[in-house]
A and B are shown apart, each in its own frame.
Chain A
Amino acid sequence: MPTFGTSQLKLLEKLCNVIAVSGDEGEVRKIVLEEIKDHADDVRVDALGSVLATRLGRGAKRVKVMLDAHMDEVGFMIVADEGEGIYRFESVGGIDARHLVGKQVFVGKERAAGVIGGKPIHLMDASERTRKVPVDSLRIDVGLAGKAKVGERAGFATKFRRVGPSIMSKALDNRFGVATVIELFKHAPSNIDLCAAFTVQEEIGLRGAKVAAQFFNPDLAIAIDSTPANDLPHFDETENATYNTKLGFGPAIYIADGSTLHDPRLVRFLQAVAASAKIPHQLRQPGGGGTDSAAIQRALAGIPTVSVSVPHRYTHSPVSISRVDDWKNTLALLHTALKKITMDLIGKR
Chain B
Amino acid sequence: MTDILPFLKTLISTSGVSGNETPVAKLIEEKWRPLVDETRLSRVGSLHGLKHGSGKKRPSILIATHMDAIGMRVSHIVDGFLRITNVGGIDVHVLPGAEVTVHSTGGADLPAVIAMPSSKLLPESAGDGALEIGYLLVDTGLTPREVEKKVRVGDLVSFANEPMELAGDIVSGHTVDNRASVAALTVCLEELQTKPHVWDVWAVATVQEETSYLGAYTSAFEIRPQIAIAVDGTFAKGPGANGWQTHTMGKGVGLCIGPNMHPFLHKKLKELAERLEIPWFLDVTTSHSGTDAYPMQVTAEGIPTALVEFPIRYMHTPVESVSVKDIQRAGRLLAEFIASLDENFVDTITWDE
Contact surface of A with B, Cβ cutoff 8 Å? 85-86, 96, 98-104, 112-124, 129-133, 137-139, 141-147, 157-158, 161, 163-168, 228, 230, 232-237, 240, 242, 248, 313-314, 317-319, 321
Q: Which of B93, B127, B137 has the most CB of A within 10 A?
A: B93
Q: Which residues of B contact A146 (CB under 8 A)?
A: 166-168
In the bound assembly, the distance between CA atoms of A139 and B321 in angstroms comes to: 14
Interface flags for B163-185 (1: CB within 8 Å of A; 0: not) read 01111111010000000000000
What would be 8 A-B contacts, judged by CB atoms less than 8 Å apart? Answer: A85-B167, A86-B238, A104-B161, A144-B169, A144-B323, A168-B113, A232-B115, A314-B139
Q: Which residues of A contact B142 (CB under 8 A)?
A: 163-166
B121: shortest Cβ distance to chain A, in Å?
5
Kindly state whether residue B318 has any CB partner on chain A within 8 Å. Answer: yes
Determine whether the beta carbon of A142 is less than 8 Å from that of B166.
Answer: yes
Would you call B25 an interface residue if the criterion is a C-beta within 8 Å of the partner chain's C-beta atoms? no
A230 to B139, CA, bound (A): 13
The reply to whether A113 and B240 contact each other, CB–CB distance below 8 Å, is no
Using known A-B contacts A85-B167, A143-B170, A163-B141, determine if residue A119 contacts B121 with beta carbons closer than 8 Å: no
A104-B319, A157-B164, A230-B120 known; A122 vs B243 contact (CB < 8 Å)? no
What are the 10 closest A-B residue pairs judged by CB atoms, nearest first? A143-B166, A145-B168, A166-B141, A102-B94, A117-B314, A144-B168, A119-B240, A143-B167, A146-B167, A102-B317
B128-141 interface bits toward A, Cβ cutoff 8 Å, 1 = contact, 0 = none? 11111001010111
CB contact between B129 and one of A132, A139, A233, A242 (< 8 Å): that residue: A132
CA–CA, A184 and B222, complex, Å? 69
A141-B241 contact given A103-B97, A120-B316, CB 8 Å threshold: no
* B99 part of interface (Cβ distance < 8 Å): yes
Encode B113-124 as 1/0 by CB contact (under 8 A) with A.
101111011110
Q: Dominant SS at the B interface? A: loop
Q: Is the CB of B139 within 8 A of A235?
A: no
B235 CB-CB contact with A under 8 Å: yes
Partner of A321 from the list B113, B130, B243, B319 (CB cut-off 8 Å) is B113
* Interchain CB contact under 8 A, A164 and B141: yes
- Shortest C-beta distance, B135 to chain A (Å), equals 6
In the complex, given contacts A122-B235, A235-B123, what are 9 additional A-B residue pairs having Cβ atoms less than 8 angstroms apart?
A103-B318, A141-B238, A141-B313, A144-B169, A163-B142, A168-B141, A232-B79, A235-B135, A242-B121
Contacts of B340 in A (CB 8 A): none
Closest B residue to A168 by beta carbon equals B141
Smallest CB separation, A126 vs chain B (Å): 12
B220 within 8 A of A: no
Instruction: Report the contact-size class of chain B (Cβ under 8 Å from the partner).
Output: 35 or more
Chain A hits for B81, CB < 8 A = 232-233
- A102-B319, A122-B235, A143-B166 given as contacts; is B146 within 8 A of A115 (CB)? no
Residues of B within 8 A of A228 (CB): 118
Minimal Cβ-Cβ distance residue in A for B314:
A117
* CB nearest neighbor in A for B113: A319
B residues sitting closer than 8 Å to A (CB atoms) are: 78-79, 81, 89-94, 96-99, 110-111, 113, 115-118, 120-123, 126-132, 135, 137, 139-143, 146, 161, 164-170, 172, 235, 238-241, 243, 245, 249-250, 290, 313-319, 321, 323
The CA of A167 and the CA of B118, in the complex, are separated in Å by 21
Known A117-B239, A121-B89; judge A235-B313 contact (CB<8 A). Answer: no
Q: A232–B170 Cα gap in the complex (Å)?
A: 38
Taking a contact as CB atoms under 8 Å apart, the answer to whether B140 and A163 are in contact is: yes
| Residue of B98, B137, B167 touching A144 (CB-CB under 8 A) | B167
Given the complex of chains A and B, what is the CA–CA distance between A232 and B290 in angstroms? 38
Judge whether A147 and B115 touch: CB under 8 Å.
no
Docked-complex contact A119 and B241, CB < 8 angstroms: yes
Contact yes or no, A115 B139, CB < 8 A: no
In contact, A165 and B141 (Cβ under 8 angstroms): yes
B314 touches A115 (CB 8 A): yes
Could you say which of A133, A144, A158, A233 contacts B250, with CB atoms under 8 Å apart? A144
In the complex, the chain A residue whose C-beta lies closest to that of B91 is: A121
The chain A residue with its CB closest to the CB of B70 is A121
CB pair B128–A118 under 8 Å, yes or no, is no
Residues of A within 8 A of B170 (CB): 143-144
Q: How far apart sit A332 and B303, CA to CA, in the bound complex (Å)?
A: 72
A102 to B243, CA, bound (A): 20
Contacts of B113 in A (CB 8 A): 168, 314, 318-319, 321
